[in-house]
Amino acid sequence: MISIFAFGQKKLNFSDCLALAIKQNLEIQSANVNEEIEKYKFKASYGRLAPELRAEGFQRARFNQIYDFSTNSYIDNTVRELRGTVRANFNLFSGFNVWNTIKVQKQEYAIAKLNSQQQIREITISLAESYLTTLYLTELVKINDQQIQLSEKQLALAQLKYESGVIAESEVFKLKTQKANEELELVNNTNKLIDNWVRLKQLMNLPIQEELVLEAPAVELDSAVLSENNAAEITSKIIDFHPLTNISLLRQTRAKAALAVARSFRYPELNAEFAYRTSSFSNLELVDQELQFDRNRNGFLRLNLIVPIFNQLTTYSRIKQAKGGLKQAGIQIDRVRNQITQEATKAINDTKTARKRVEAASIALEFSKKSYEADALKFELGKINTNELNITKNQYNNAQADLIKSNYELLYNNALINFYLGEPFKL
């Protein structure tokens, strides 16, 4: 089961995986599309400053017959009219509604760009978690496999001792139980490994069946991050740099522009309309059509002033809603700062804790290994029973897993803090 997912032709480090994810991840692609949409909306908003032009043309016929008493017959008196009109509307003043609408769209576009950056950040963090978890589970599966091999040797030895009458059959059953538990743990960890491979490949939008090999990174620490006295300073920098902080500030600016738009409906609206038209009629046979077009030309320029007096409290409601949106934007700024502060503080504390865990796990592994090797020799010589051997063995196995996990946690949290501070996520 391991070989299907753990080897292949394509060998990738974290930088390779991140480049693939940024290029192919579906969430990032969706955020980029939304950014393009907001970009065109922003550009289109400037169109409201330009006049509106439209051309109209139609041809109509009025069918009619008249009775000619001199000829005692009906005469066709159908008249066909060909008319063309060009109109232009100019918005001269609308309470600065257009300018403030442009400001709103500008903020929407800026927010969309930051959302794209934030999506890349979130995918980067998720990718790092999945990448390191996959490496951790790969090593854990190898350890599980080694445990089973050792249990098989110990079980074979116990079987010989039992057949020789040295130990009771219950000791053999205990080793079989231990081996069965280790096989179950191997199955569980293998399933977790497969799930993480699927998640990792989906983050990069790769086929599930594609075989990959991940390069294990070296653990390198940043002493500045681990300093005991600079946590508040680092947290402050993270808050200022974080895209969510800038997004919340832009949303507050957008809310101010939206309030200005709502207030613009209080002001009069002044529009100018210009029209130019001409026409020709088919019943004027003695007058050439071009001459008719020339003679029938006419145009007008009209100014329309609309003064709002009462509109069923619609404007009042718009202003109140916009003010509420502005207050919510201000509250959201503080909420975002609190959220980022929690994340940054947790990352710093987790890094410091992980460093101590690595030191403790290294010592625990060293002595648990010596203890297990000594007890394994004692078991072969018949000086300890199966229970004592299994206790020591489980302690050794747990120490191996704890050290691997602690190393990866330290690597992840240290890289996460640097990433929060604006550096690339390096593993």
Q: CB-based contacts of 162: which residues, under 8 Å, 6+ apart?
A: 168, 169, 171, 172
User: CA torsion, points 114, 118, 121, 125, in degrees to nearest 10?
Assistant: 170
Q: Which residue type does 103 have?
A: K
Instruction: Measure Cα distances from 72 to 68, 151, 420 in Å.
Output: 6, 124, 99
Q: How high is the pLDDT of residue 2?
A: 40
* Per-residue pLDDT in tens (0 to 9) along the chain, 427 residues: 344 444 445 788 999 999 999 999 999 999 999 999 999 999 988 888 888 889 988 777 766 666 666 777 666 666 677 888 999 888 888 878 888 888 999 999 999 999 999 999 999 999 999 999 999 999 999 999 988 988 888 888 888 888 888 888 888 888 889 889 989 999 999 999 999 999 999 999 999 888 888 888 876 655 555 555 577 788 888 888 888 899 999 999 999 999 988 888 888 888 899 999 888 877 666 667 778 777 888 888 888 888 888 888 888 898 999 999 999 999 999 999 999 998 888 888 888 888 888 889 889 988 988 888 898 888 888 788 888 888 888 888 888 888 888 888 888 888 888 888 888 888 7
Q: How high is the pLDDT of residue 7?
A: 41
Q: φ and ψ at 181, to 5 degrees?
A: -65, -40
The predicted-structure confidence for 273-330, as pLDDT tens digits, reads as follows 999 988 887 766 666 777 877 788 888 888 888 888 888 888 889 899 999 999 999 9
As a three-state string, the secondary structure of the chain is: CHHHHHCCCEEECHHHHHHHHHHHCHHHHHHHHHHHHHHHHHHHHHHHHCCEEEEEEEEEEECCEEEECCCCEEEECCEEEEEEEEEEEEEEECCCHHHHHHHHHHHHHHHHHHHHHHHHHHHHHHHHHHHHHHHHHHHHHHHHHHHHHHHHHHHHHHHHHHHCCCCCHHHHHHHHHHHHHHHHHHHHHHHHHHHHHHHHHHHCCCCCCCCEEECCCCCCCCCCCCCCCCHHHHHHHHHHHCHHHHHHHHHHHHHHHHHHHHHHCCCCEEEEEEEEEEEEECCCCCCCHHHHHHHCCEEEEEEEEECCCCCCCHHHHHHHHHHHHHHHHHHHHHHHHHHHHHHHHHHHHHHHHHHHHHHHHHHHHHHHHHHHHHHHHHHHHCCCCHHHHHHHHHHHHHHHHHHHHHHHHHHHHHHHHHHHCCCCCCC
Residue 90, beta-bridge partner list:
272
Q: φ and ψ at 319, to 5 degrees?
A: -65, -45
Q: Would you tell me how many other CB atoms lie within 10 Å of the CB of residue 191?
A: 12
Q: How high is the pLDDT of residue 219?
A: 63
Instruction: Measure Cα distances from 299 to 88, 278, 377 in Å.
Output: 11, 9, 110
Token readout for 147 is: 């445990």
Q: φ and ψ at 110, to 5 degrees?
A: -65, -40
Q: φ and ψ at 153, to 5 degrees?
A: -65, -45
Token readout for 39 is: 């970009």
Token readout for 123 is: 């995918």
Token readout for 131 is: 């990448």
CA distance 265 to 269: 8
Q: How high is the pLDDT of residue 5?
A: 43
Q: How high is the pLDDT of residue 421?
A: 85
Q: CB-based contacts of 163: which residues, under 8 Å, 6+ apart?
A: none
Q: CB-based contacts of 37: which residues, under 8 Å, 6+ apart?
A: 112
**Full-model pTM:** 0.78
C-alpha angle 245-248-251 in degrees, rounded to nearest 5: 150
Token readout for 401 is: 């897993």
Q: How high is the pLDDT of residue 422?
A: 83
Q: How high is the pLDDT of residue 189?
A: 92
